[in-house]
Copies of this chain bind each other. A is one copy, B any other.
Amino acid sequence: MIEQGDRVLLVGQGREFFVKAGPGTLGTDKGQLDLSTIVGKAGGDTLTTHNGSQFIIRVPRPTDFFTYGKRSGAPMLPKDIGLVIAYTGMNHNDDVLDAGTGSGIAAIYFGGVAKTVRTYEVRPEFSALAMKNITEAKLDNVEAVSKDFLESEGTYDVVHLDLQIQAEHMTHAFSLLKTGGYLACYTPFLEQMAIVVDAATPLFCEVHTHELIEREMTRSKRGTRPSTSVCHSGYITIARK
């Protein structure tokens, strides 16, 4: 049941609105929506504007927070987040440390998968914005910490780094991991990837760097072919303790 303050999507009439349930009105070109009437409803229920247009209520998923979450910079792409989840085997038994919170998008995906997530971000204003996104995603197992990753403590199954990488980050990540646990490092540039591989190789027992080139296939009356859209983002190094 949707509570006051919950984020929901209103979908209909070829439009999509990301709103908060509770006091207030949303003016659309299809009429006005009373947002307080969302409280108590459920995903799939319908909302009607003052002049009769209908919108379906959708409880947001992590993919919606990727689209609508507030951003402090360019977040990791879902394809790369998916690779981290799959190559670390992230699951509901895991304690995960995420560093370089950014807008918190990766932490939101990980929070939906892992037992707990602690996400470190050295810039307090980024950490605060991320915590807002995380709260709206209703994840009480994710904690945003505004500290340098090197100050982090504890024991983790997975450590995920998306920050200006330095060799000492590898040593620290190693010290935080359980035996059999995984480090995943996202690096947009080759030079950073080299730092990661060179520092991780002597410490970890398996080190592999992956690049994902993603293409969308398009299909029209003229035929089927790959689109010519953006297809790179970064390199992901996976190392196992």
Contact = CB atoms under 8 A, between A and B. Distances in A.
Interface of A: 9, 11, 43-44, 56, 58-59, 61-64, 66, 78-79, 81-93, 109, 111-113, 157, 178-180, 182, 188-194, 197-198, 205, 208-217, 219, 222-228, 230-235
Contacts of A93: 112
Given A83-B79, A113-B113, A231-B231, A219 B197 contact: yes
Contacts of A61: 88-89, 91, 157, 180, 182
A187 to B, nearest CB: 9
Contacts of A92: 92, 112-113
7 contacts: A61-B182, A79-B86, A91-B113, A188-B223, A193-B217, A198-B219, A211-B215
This chain: copies in complex:
4
Contact of A189 (B59, B109, B225): B225
Contact of A194 (B81, B188, B224): B224
A91 B112 contact: yes
A235 B223 CA distance: 13
Contacts of A194: 219, 224
Contacts of A216: 208-211
A216 B214 CA distance: 14
Contact of A178 (B44, B90, B189): B44
A56 B215 contact: no
Contacts of A113: 85, 90-92, 112-113
A214 B210 contact: yes
A175 to B, nearest CB: 14
A227 B88 CA distance: 21
Contact of A232 (B81, B208, B226): B226
Nearest to A187: B223
Contact of A86 (B78, B192, B197): B78
A215 B233 CA distance: 13
B209 A79 contact: no
A58 B205 CA distance: 13
Contacts of A82: 79, 82-87
